[in-house]
C-alpha cells in the first residue's frame, strides 16, 4: 500500500501538468485574439479595388464599404461599361471577387 504522502505527491504532479497545459493554451489563445486587427486601412482597401478595376473606358466608383470577419467588402460600379460587383480585401491586401455582373446592352 502506498503511503498517503506518495499519493499526494502524484496528485500534485498531475495538477501541475494540467496547470501548465492550461497556461500554454491561454497564452496561445490570447496572442491569437490580439493579432486580429486590420493591417490595411479602409482607404487602402478602396484604392486596391479601384486599381484592380481600372478601366480606360470608364471610372470605377465605390458604392459601399463594410468591415466583416476581418475583411473589407467593397461594392463597386463602372457605369460606362455597365459593370458592377463586390470584392473582399483581406488584411494583407489580397482581393477576392465575391460577385460581379455585366448588364446586357440589347
User: Which tens digit of pLDDT belongs to each residue from 41-50?
Assistant: 999 999 999 9
pLDDT at 14 over 80: no
Residue 64, strand partner residues: 75
CA separation for the pair 11, 13 (Å, rounded): 5
- pTM value is 0.61
Q: Which residue is listed with cell 461594392?
A: 75
Q: Average of pLDDT values for 70-85? A: 92
Residue 36 has what pLDDT? 44
Q: For the domain covering 42-102, report its CATH number.
A: 3.10.450
DSSP reduced 3-state for 85: strand
Residue 92 has what pLDDT? 92
Angle of CA points 29, 34, 40, to nearest 5°: 135
Residue 90 banded pLDDT, cuts 50, 70, 90: very high
pLDDT at 102 over 80: yes
Q: Are 48 and 95 in contact (CB under 8 A)?
A: yes
Residue 57 has what pLDDT? 67
Residues 6+ apart with CB under 8 A from 38: 67, 70, 72, 91
Amino acid at each position: 500500500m502506498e503511503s498517503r504522502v506518495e499519493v499526494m505527491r502524484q496528485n500534485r504532479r498531475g495538477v501541475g501538468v494540467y496547470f501548465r497545459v492550461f497556461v500554454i493554451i491561454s497564452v496561445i489563445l490570447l496572442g491569437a485574439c490580439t493579432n486580429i486587427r486590420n493591417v490595411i486601412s479602409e482607404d487602402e482597401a478602396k484604392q486596391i479595388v479601384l486599381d484592380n478595376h481600372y478601366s480606360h473606358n470608364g471610372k470605377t466608383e465605390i458604392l459601399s464599404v463594410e468591415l466583416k470577419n476581418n475583411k473589407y467588402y467593397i461594392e463597386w460600379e463602372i457605369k460606362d461599361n455597365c459593370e458592377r460587383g463586390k470584392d473582399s480585401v483581406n488584411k494583407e491586401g489580397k482581393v477576392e471577387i465575391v460577385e460581379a455582373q455585366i448588364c446586357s446592352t440589347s
